[in-house]
Structure 1
Amino acid sequence: MSDAPVPRALDLPLGFDAEPVGRRIGLVVLATDHTTEPDFARMVAAPDVGVYVARIAYANPTTPENLRAMQPDLARGAALLLPEERLDAICYSCTSASVVIGDDAVAAAIREGKPGVPVVTPTRAAVEALRAHGARRIAILTPYTIETSASLAPYFEGRGFSVAGVSCLGLEDDRQMARLDGPTLIAAARAALAPGAQALFVSCTALRSAALAAEMEAALGLPVVTSNLATAWACARLVGETPRVDARLAALPLPDPTAFA
């Protein structure tokens, strides 16, 4: 016979808060992602700002075909984020897939799983961030292959920017991209700066570049926008917060919050 105590129900009045956390941001990230969650934990999460994550299947190498293959899983991933409860924003954390699939198609798929929520993509957030800086002519750095990088310039040109140059590092696996060290990323930023550029966009949510943005800005003398810096800034602004990062972008308002509606 066990001597373990039998549980007893406490006869106490129970008080409940209206919500466990007042402001809530959802992340839909790749199964292979090492970087987005730590970046959002550092820059966005707070006692009254919760960040909730769903992962979706992804298979390397990073090619347009593999990126496009994620689209059917977006709705399912979004539906797993606090089912039947409110979110203030959802970020889909893949830059190259946002270009290949399209911002509007990404937003539509996510809203299929979680209706009525502002949807932030890295590309749309980067557009707003570059506009907040007043930059019209930009340089772009990616860790991707030439094939995967080729869609970035047309994307930004289609949104009114002039692209001074696109530089890439030739990697195919986002897990390798996440392992690129700080000195390499700083050197790549220097090498990617093209004549006449007013800002540098560092593409890819796998890169640990958001924490280096201020150092890159000091090295280049120009604003630097990275994928995770842009999405963290946009999500923070959408819930009335300022992201905790030293980059110039942190102090700037979101030019058009309806861009994500």
Structure 2
Amino acid sequence: MTKNYRIGQIVPSSNTTMETEIPAMLRLREQVRPERFTFHSARMRMKHVNKDELAAMDAQSDRCALELSDARVDVLGYACLVAIMAMGRGYHRQSESRLRAATESNLGAAPVVTSAGALVDALRVIGARRIALVAPYMVPLTKMVVDYIEHEGFEVVDWRALEIPDNLEVGRHDPRELPGIVAGMNTDGVDAIVLSACVQMPSLAAIAQVEAATGKPVVTAAVATTFAMLGALGLEQVVPGAGALLSGAYSTVREGGLR
């Protein structure tokens, strides 16, 4: 019997990528596994990627969690990495706990994944210690992201800030430019490449090319979020064509290991 899952996402109002890349990956998974997925979103207002707008946006996340729990989603993803990281070191743990409590208060308890927590957890899963990172943010916000990740125990050997302040423009960034950006970075001795430290910057189409060119596993915020969502659902974390993390080699759930 095919089982259906409802995927809930809390997204910035200007985000146009998580509602394309997450479904794209799970549709690919549907070609090789029996589970099926539907997608449901709630939005937080944000247009410009700066610390003040991010903080104001994060304050709306509890409302979004309640709204999604009305739909009785099976897992809830907070789809804005930098909003979490800009709130201070380790904040993803506080956010995940608070938002899950919001769903429980509405009698619609669901596991909560943040893209920030998913990324650092994914790096641990693949055994990475030294990484290179690409982000679309302005330099000050990118430094916050680097500090957040390093506080979690990783060394960011090299990073690039693409300095795109408007979130809609981040969503329009051409993923075909990413391999060239990575080619100009110091990736010698790194264990993994974070190709997009942002769920809004499209990257899925470039993952295979960058892995082939560098010989390194490539992780993105969207891929890490998908990995974490599947794990929270008790489903094997495998998606064809989405890079090493979702190849099945790192799955923490065996095939058939449903909740």
Name 2:67's counterpart in structure 1. Answer: 80
Q: Residue 122 in 1 paired to residue 108 in 2?
A: no
1:1-261 residue pairs with structure 2 within 5 A? 22-45=4-27, 46=30, 48-60=36-48, 62-83=49-70, 86-101=72-87, 102-115=91-104, 116-201=109-194, 202-239=196-233, 240-241=235-236, 242-250=238-246, 251-254=248-251
**RMSD in angstroms over aligned alpha carbons?**
2.3
CA distance in 1, matches of 2:215, 2:133: 16
CA distance in 1, matches of 2:190, 2:64: 37
User: Which runs of 4 or more aligned residues in structure 1 lie more than 4 Å from their structure 2 counterparts after TM superposition?
Assistant: none
Deviations 1:15-73 (A, max 9, x none): xxxxx96322210111101110111111125563222111121131x112211111221
CA distance in 2, matches of 1:244, 1:73: 34
- Note closer, same or farther for the CA distance 1:146–1:243 as it changes in structure 2 (3 Å cut): same
Q: CA deviation at 1:107?
A: 1.6
Determine helix, strand or coil for the equivalent of 2:60.
helix
Q: Which has the larger radius of gyration?
A: 1
Determine helix, strand or coil for the equivalent of 1:197.
coil
Determine helix, strand or coil for the equivalent of 1:51.
strand
CA distance in 1, matches of 2:226, 2:186: 24
How does the TM-score come out when normalised to structure 1? 0.82
- The amino acid across from 1:72 in the alignment is A
How does the TM-score come out when normalised to structure 2? 0.83
CA distance in 1, matches of 2:56, 2:124: 30
Q: CA deviation at 1:254?
A: 4.7
Query: In the comparison of the two structures, how many residue pairs are matched?
Result: 236
Given that 1:128 and 1:255 are in contact with CA atoms closer than 8 Å, whether structure 2 keeps it comes out as no
Question: Could you list the runs of 5+ residues in structure 1 that have no partner in the other structure?
Answer: 1-19, 257-261
Question: Could you list the runs of 5+ residues in structure 2 that have no partner in the other structure?
Answer: 254-259
